[in-house]
């Protein structure tokens, strides 16, 4: 009886040892596996949470800020360029104004042919002044009359000799309007308050201005050539480099 009991006890010890060995053998791989996973997880976390990634993002943001600063500087440079351009244009205008040669004649002055200056224009490219001079008095026809047909006014103007000058012609519509506004309304030129022929043709008729109009009303009207109106001759001359 005691022998069986000892045998059973011996067998039980062996089984317990075997189970312990099996348990010990199974436990190492599990522990190793878990340890490996832990190591892998640590390895995976390092790139995302380490100093290297954060530093790269900071450097990128810094580069973006630098680019924006460069853009702002470029815009500022563009604005400065625009200001410089405006300054250059202003300088050009000042230079052009400084190069305008003073006129030799003013409106109302006596011209070189003894008439009256009623218009002037300066050409900076050629340094030339162009003047318009009105004859000192109204035209008269062959009979000595101051009112005449349109044909008689044309002939009287082209045959006029005044101040030893012969390049006279009957005032055009535009010139007649200027005579009215610049001279007659300023009580210059000894014009009469009467209609004056122009050389401008309007179909079968001719343009004229009535100098009896109220001030500021220089409308041009049309009249047939057989009417008897007054006339005034004008001429154009230039003044280049202070020489007439």
Ordered by start, the domain boundaries in the chain are 116-240
d(CA 130, CA 121): 5
pLDDT at 239: 86
pLDDT at position 168 over 90: yes
Residue with the bigger pLDDT between 157 and 56: it is: 157
Q: Considering only the top CATH level, what class is 116-240?
A: alpha beta
Percent of the chain with pLDDT over 70: 61
What confidence category does residue 50 fall into, taking pLDDT thresholds of 50, 70 and 90?
Answer: very low
pLDDT at 130: 96
What confidence category does residue 22 fall into, taking pLDDT thresholds of 50, 70 and 90?
Answer: confident
Mean pLDDT of 74-79: 56
pLDDT at 63: 56
pLDDT at 186: 94
Mean pLDDT of 24-40: 45
pTM of the model: 0.58
pLDDT at position 36 over 90: no
Mean pLDDT of 19-31: 61
Residue with the bigger pLDDT between 158 and 1: it is: 158
What confidence category does residue 148 fall into, taking pLDDT thresholds of 50, 70 and 90?
Answer: very high
Q: Range with the lowest mean pLDDT among 32-41, 94-103, 141-150, 214-223? A: 32-41
Q: Range with the lowest mean pLDDT among 91-100, 137-146, 176-185, 222-231? A: 91-100
Mean pLDDT of 96-107: 78
């Amino acid at each position: 009886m005691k022998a069986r009991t000892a045998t059973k006890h011996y067998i039980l010890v062996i089984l317990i040892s075997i189970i312990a060995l099996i348990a010990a053998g199974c436990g190492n791989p599990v522990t190793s596996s878990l340890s490996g996973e832990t190591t892998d997880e640590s390895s995976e976390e390092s790139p995302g949470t380490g100093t290297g990634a954060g530093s790269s993002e900071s450097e990128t943001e810094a580069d973006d800020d630098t680019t924006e600063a460069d853009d702002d500087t470029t815009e500022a440079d563009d604005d400065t360029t625009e200001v410089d351009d405006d300054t250059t244009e202003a300088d050009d205008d000042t230079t052009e104004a400084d190069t305008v040669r003073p006129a030799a004649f003013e409106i109302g002055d006596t011209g070189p042919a003894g008439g009256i200056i009623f218009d002037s224009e300066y050409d900076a490219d050629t340094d030339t002044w162009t003047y318009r001079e009105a004859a000192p008095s109204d035209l008269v026809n062959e009979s000595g009359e101051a009112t005449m047909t349109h044909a008689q006014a044309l002939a009287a103007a082209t045959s006029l000799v005044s101040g030893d000058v012969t390049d006279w012609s009957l005032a055009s519509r535009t010139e007649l309007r200027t005579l009215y506004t610049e001279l007659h309304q300023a009580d210059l030129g000894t014009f009469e308050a009467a209609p004056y022929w122009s050389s401008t043709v309007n179909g079968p008729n001719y343009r004229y201005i009535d100098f009896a109009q109220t001030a500021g009303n220089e409308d041009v009207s049309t009249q047939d050539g057989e009417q008897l109106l007054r006339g005034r001759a004008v001429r154009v001359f230039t003044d280049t480099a202070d020489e007439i």
